[in-house]
Structure 1
Amino acid sequence: MTAEAEDRFLDLRNEPVDPGRQRDRTLRLRRLSKLEKMGLATEHAPGVWELSERMEPALRELGERGDIIRNMHRALKADGMERDPTTFQLHDAAPEVPIVGRVVDKYLNDELGENLTVVVDGIDGRTHHLPGIDPARIEDARIGSVVEIGPPEIASRPSDRTIAAIAEAGVYRPSRHLEQAKFEGRVPGGDYDGYVDAHVRRLEALRRAGIAERIDADQWRIPDDFESGAAAYDAGRKSQANVRILSAARLEQQIGADGATWLDRRLMSAETSDLAPTGFGQQVREAIDRRREHHIDHGDATPGPNGGTLYRRNLLATLRAREIERIGGEMAATKNLPFRAATDGEKVSGKFTGTVQLSSGKFAVVEQSHEFTLVPWRPVIERQLGKEIMGIVQGGSVSWQLGRQRGLEI
């Protein structure tokens, strides 16, 4: 139709004699009438039509949208689910409000393999199509895993705030920073040189972005808008959605797990207002009830007054420790190395040899010559695989202290 139009005008006033061409004309008029309802064609006179310049891109976009919806239906059906297509939400960029739900599908959406599209069956009762996800951020999520996908992180870094605070008359001096750090004595591990060097490396990156200026080896010019400029720089580099793996395990696996699951954290918060009464939201409600019954059956909870439930004190820590002991014992049998659980406040050191995904989260395997332990993993140690690391266990997390080789993570 577009090829027949002259300057986007199509003249169908002359009715052909041939029956075949008459049918073709009738079909085209019906198509034009539909395009008119879509705002993509205008009839200026009987049989004289103007095609909108937006017609081709609009129809192409509709076709792509149709393909996306069909793919979403297919992925849901493969996981044994059906959802009302009116609940489908297609996002062009990172969502402004975090989306929590179950991963239904994830696939590469470019030839270079740099971005993934993720389909999430949300607790809000909607099914979300989210393109442009960094593969590294969702690597640990499988089909069925529970994730949170939200806007990019744009908060200013502590290192940037420190640089701005140390600067005098708009000039930051590493030597002055080193003196102050030694005086305050708050650097974990006492690696003051590495601590200040990490700030200088940050300034070098910001210099290349035109945000800071190097005067000489011991002087950096810091503008008044340094912190906001640095945050904007990070936001531009990390414009992709922020992804958190809330549970690598499927909902059904969490109900009877011996570790501290996402369902347990929901139980402890007693928050249900964000759970829709339909779809995955309803399934989470039902799973929470079944998880509560599981704890009662295993002596970790008792029915309370007025229909409530009384849980074991420090339930999450107890469940986490219970799972770590079990998994550590199983790993010890295959590693021929004794397992020892780390205690709160303990300084842990050794070689970072791998990771293990538990119901309680992702844990790092830290080995010494005579034993190994499991401690909560954090992205900061990802590049330290195979190297010696050291950290302090604190309340279900670890404060990692990276040595002079890289300087402290900031």
Structure 2
Amino acid sequence: MSTIIPFEDDDSFEIALKGRKKGISGTGKAGTRKSFLKTMMRLVDANKSSNVRKQSGRNSFISDTPRNAQRVVVKARVVKNSGPFSKGSIRNHVSYISRDAVKNHNEVSPIIYSETGITTKENLEETVREFESDRHHFRFIISPENAHDLNLTEYTKALVKQMELDLDTKLTFIAVNHYNTDNLHVHLIVRGVDDSGKNLVIKRDYISNGFRFRASQIATKTLGLRTEREIRNGITSEVKKTRFTQIDRDLLAKIKVEKCIDLRKPIENGFSEFKRNVQIQRLRFLKTMQLSREIKPGIWKLNEECEKTLRELGLRNDIIKTMHEQLKNERITEHIIFDPADSHQRNITGVVIEKGLSNELYDEKYLIVSATDNRAYYVPLSKYSETPAFEARPGSIVTVSVKRGESQQRIADENILEIASRNNGIYNRELHLKSINTHRLPQGVTPENYVENHLKRIEALEKRGVVERAENGWSVPENLKEKIIGIAHESGGKNNFVQVKLESMQDMHHQKVANAPTWLDREMSEGRLPRPDALQSSFCSEMDRAKSERLQKLHAMGLAEKTHDCIRIKPDYHEHLYKRQMEQAAKDLSSRFGKPARINPGETFSGACKGIHHLPSGPHVIVKRGNEFVIVPHQRGMERMNQIRLEMPRTQDTQYPELKFASLDTSKERDLGR
């Protein structure tokens, strides 16, 4: 493996060219090494003359990567630690990038490291807390083309060291090497605070260009310049790819300058002529896809939707590959992408086979669901798809449906309309801030965060022509809701999103033996009994076996009876199982929350919400008062309440009823924050 040093002003090093022994030191022809060193020294001199160190990445960075330098793909993002969806963001991201699945095949655990050296997931807690307290942090995904030839840990440390020199500050970071894909890469998270405790601000051109230049520079210093053959092979490999490529990017750049692509004249320069021929080959391939056309011999035009189509095809290819990898042991022939924009998309119910990130930089998630219709679905999730604390996991049973886009915005729209109605049809930030009751805000949300989200919404409505900018705010029409619904219909479903309902956190193995009501019980009580002779997917076959075993379990418990041709569940099965579940839950939770309270018919119990507990029958909320507690079925919004008042219905005399809510400390969800 290679040993890497930061790219400083030290010229006392040797570099092995690719194909020879890897590392900073190596052997080779003296003339070749001298030639390469001269090239690299010119880069150093160029950087000195451009005053990179003094200007720093915070201010500016402009430098071109040589054509034969090592290629490194860098993706970067600045993440603010504020807003309703930011809570736990950095913690969840660190947890995901450091999961066991990313480790190298010969490693016991993932390679996690920071400025203090190699560390473990357990030792990251203090660092993560520091990140959470900052205004923002930076995320990078670094993918060298020849990552297999690099010691990724040493490479990343050298890159961070160079970044510190450019930014003129020490950096706190977390890095994890990922070996679980064909393209080895590193996740790097940099704290948004400099060594003086101030917010670290890095200019866009350094993040966009300078960091990538440094990544390529250090890889080149370690592995040597790419050969002409490697460069040409890399370019020609993209000619027939059904995704957006660097060749396409170059073609689009030509169009911006010349309005069309003129490739008639041969070019004397050898490499430029090679690129011209490659571009002609690519255009001919795109023509077979109806994405380009030759308007005159040698003169081409691209379809206006060319880039969009190629990016969508690339994404689709990635999805198909992911589904094949995750479903290789499933007896499913039909793989479908769940599309919320499709007006004919039906709801599906099934088991979660896999949950992952489709975009690791932006934490965009997906599910793969094996459904009861014997099909497998790729389900893209938005930030609205799952309810916090009710997120699905592999093995969970879920129902996936389409939610109309305008429904998600209705709460903010009603708030905007109400503020405007009190101010002659004008909405503005100051009025909204004054009207907020901080005791009714969702936990962890400040008034400024809350209003900021409304401002984003009204600015989006302004772009669509629904509201108009006024001198001191926005003019809001009285028929705001109708206008929004009209736009949603015109959009053809583009604003729709996926909604995931968690039917059961338990997998079927645990459900079939549970001493509690389960999703399987609910399915069978509604008439969906096992069909052992049907030709089905692995999931459906497993589900039917689980139903059959569950029926036998219920029969042994006295909650189902045999007839001449089947076993039938007794009508009162749920009441008996629910009582057993709650008795066991009270015992399990008493060591943490105190004594289970007994509430008689007609009595009330008021207490603080202490969290959500997922039981086999569904989610329940723990309400605690002093040294007593009760467990009640969850209702939407309960987890955000500081105090909950419960009332035992007079018609029930059991110890474990499904309690009726007398009141919450918030009247309606849409009033949150007012």
Q: Given the alignment of the two structures, is residue 302 of structure 1 paired with residue 561 of structure 2, yes or no?
A: yes
Q: Determine if contact 2:612/2:639 at 8 Å carries over to the other structure.
A: no
Map 1:144-223 to 2 at 5 A: 144-152=395-403, 205-208=416-419
Match runs of 1:364-375 below 5 Å: 364-369=621-626, 371-375=628-632
Q: CA deviation at 1:290?
A: 2.4
- Equivalent pairs, count: 344
Instruction: Quickly say closer, same or farther: Cα 1:383–1:108, change in 2 above 3 A.
Output: farther
- The separation in 1 between residues aligned to 2:480 and 2:259, in whole angstroms, is 53
Matches within 5 A, 1:4-83: 7-9=259-261, 32=283, 34-42=285-293, 50-76=301-327, 81=330, 83=332
Asked if 1:406 is matched to 2:666, the reply is yes
Q: Kindly indicate whether residue 639 of structure 2 is the aligned counterpart of residue 382 of structure 1.
A: yes
Is the CA contact 1:350–1:366 (under 8 Å) kept in the aligned structure 2?
A: yes
Deviation at 1:344, TM superposition (A): 7.8
**Residues 388 and 398 (structure 1 numbering): CA distance in 2 closer, same or farther, change over 3 Å?**
closer
Contact 1:155 1:231 in 2 (8 A): yes
- Worse overlay, 307-316 or 359-368: 307-316
Equivalent residue runs for 1:323-362 within 5 Å:
323-332=581-590, 334-335=591-592, 337-340=594-597, 347-362=604-619
Q: What is the CA distance between 1:328 and its match in structure 2?
A: 1.1
Q: Distance in 2 between matches of 1:308 and 1:207?
A: 59
Q: CA deviation at 1:23?
A: 12
Deviations 1:116-168 (A, max 9, x none): 43333322213132231426516422222111122327999xxx9xxxxxxxx
Return closer, same or farther for 1:392/1:154 CA change in 2, 3 Å cut-off: farther
Residues 12-49 of structure 1, C-alpha deviations (whole Å, 9 max, x = no match): 798x9x9xx89995x77765554333222345688776
Structure showing greater relative contact order (alpha-carbon pairs closer than 8 Å, 6 or more residues apart) = 1
Are the structure 2 counterparts of residues 363 and 304 from structure 1 closer, same or farther at C-alpha, using a change threshold of 3 Å? same
Distance 1:264 1:61, change over 3 A: same
Shift in Å, 1:112: 6.2
Residues 342 and 248 of structure 1: CA distance in aligned 2, closer, same or farther (over 3 Å):
farther
Distance 1:138 1:121 in 2: 23
SS of aligned partner of 1:62:
helix
Counterpart amino acid of residue 89 in structure 1: I
Shift of residue 302, structure 1, vs aligned partner: 2.2
Contact 1:118 1:133 in 2 (8 A): no
* SS of equivalent residue, structure 2 residue 609: strand
Distance of aligned partners of 1:335 and 1:286 in 2 relative to their CA distance in 1, 3 Å threshold: same
Contact 1:10 1:50 in 2 (8 A): no
Give, in whole Å, the separation in 1 of the partners of 2:623 and 2:640.
Answer: 14
1:247 is matched with which residue: 504, 519, 522?
504
Asked if structure 2 preserves the Cα contact closer than 8 Å seen for 1:153 and 1:242, the reply is: no
Give the superposition deviation at 1:73.
3.6
Aligned to 2:73: none
Name the Cα RMSD after superposition.
4.7
8 Å CA contact 2:509–2:546 kept in 1: the answer is yes
* Amino acid in structure 1 at the alignment position of 2:315: E
Alpha-carbon distance in 1 for matches of 2:308, 2:346: 29
Contact 1:13 1:46 in 2 (8 A): no
Which residue is 1:260 aligned to? 517
In structure 2, the partner of 1:102 is 351
Change (3 A) 1:378 1:126: same
Q: Which amino acid aligns with 2:574?
A: L
Give how far 1:379 is off. Answer: 1.8
Instruction: State the distance in 2 between where 1:154 and 1:22 align.
Output: 48
Matched residue of 2:286: which SS? helix
Determine helix, strand or coil for the equivalent of 1:132. coil
Give the structure-2-normalised TM-score: 0.42
SS of the residue corresponding to residue 151 of structure 1 reads: strand
**What one-letter code is carried by the residue in structure 1 that aligns with 2:500?**
V
Deviates more, 1:357-366 or 1:144-153: 144-153
The one-letter amino acid of 1:55's match is C
For residues 357 and 335 of structure 1, what CA distance do their matches in structure 2 show? 16
> In percent, how many aligned pairs have the same letter?
22
Change (3 A) 1:24 1:343: farther
- Could you tell me how far 1:285 is from its partner in structure 2? 2.8
What is the SS of the residue equivalent to 1:357?
strand
CA distance in 2, matches of 1:242, 1:210: 32
Partner Cα distance (1:136, 1:358) in 2: 18
CA distance in structure 1 between the aligned counterparts of 2:562 and 2:662, rounded to whole angstroms: 44
Structure-2 separation of matches of 1:285 and 1:82? 15
Alignment partners' CA distance in 2, 1:344 and 1:120? 43
Amino acid of the structure 2 residue aligned with 1:401:
A
User: Could you say what secondary structure the match of 2:579 adopts?
Assistant: helix
Distance in 2, Cα, partners of 1:271 & 1:65: 34
The runs of 5 or more residues in structure 1 that have no matched partner are: 161-200, 215-224
Aligned mates of 2:613, 2:314 — CA distance in 1: 42
CA distance in 1, matches of 2:413, 2:262: 61
Q: Deviations over 1:254-303 (max 9, x none)?
A: 11111111111001001379999325334323322222222223332122
| Residue 62 (structure 1) shift | 1.2
Q: Secondary structure at the match of 1:283?
A: helix
Distance 1:239 1:63, change over 3 A: closer
CA distance in 2, matches of 1:46, 1:292: 74
- CA change 1:280–1:46 in 2 (3 A) is farther
Secondary structure of the 1:299 match is coil
CA separation in 2, counterparts of 1:409 and 1:42?
A: 55
2:526 alignment partner, one of 245, 261, 269: 269
- Aligned counterparts of 1:11 and 1:231: Cα–Cα separation in 2: 48
Find the aligned partners of 1:282 and 1:32 in 2 and give their Cα distance.
48
Q: Structure 1 residues 343, 145: closer, same or farther in 2, change over 3 A?
A: farther
* Aligned position for 1:178: none
Aligned residue for 2:552, secondary structure, equals: helix
Asked if the contact 1:109–1:117 (Cα under 8 Å) also holds between the matched residues in 2, the reply is no
Following the alignment from structure 1 to structure 2, what is the Cα–Cα distance between the partners of residues 276 and 343?
52
Corresponding residue of 1:132: 382
Say if 1:276 and 1:373 are closer, same or farther in 2 by CA, change over 3 A.
Answer: farther
Q: Closer, same or farther in 2 for the Cα pair 1:340/1:267, shift >3 Å?
A: farther
8 Å CA contact 1:105, 1:120 repeated in 2: no
Q: Separation in 2 of the partners of 1:356 and 1:240? A: 27
| AA matched with 2:583 | E
Distance 1:309 1:371 in 2: 41
Q: Please say which of residues 319-328 and 86-95 is displaced more in the overlay.
A: 86-95
Structure 1 residues 407 and 70: alpha-carbon distance in aligned structure 2, compared to 1, 3 A threshold: same
1:192 corresponds in structure 2 to none
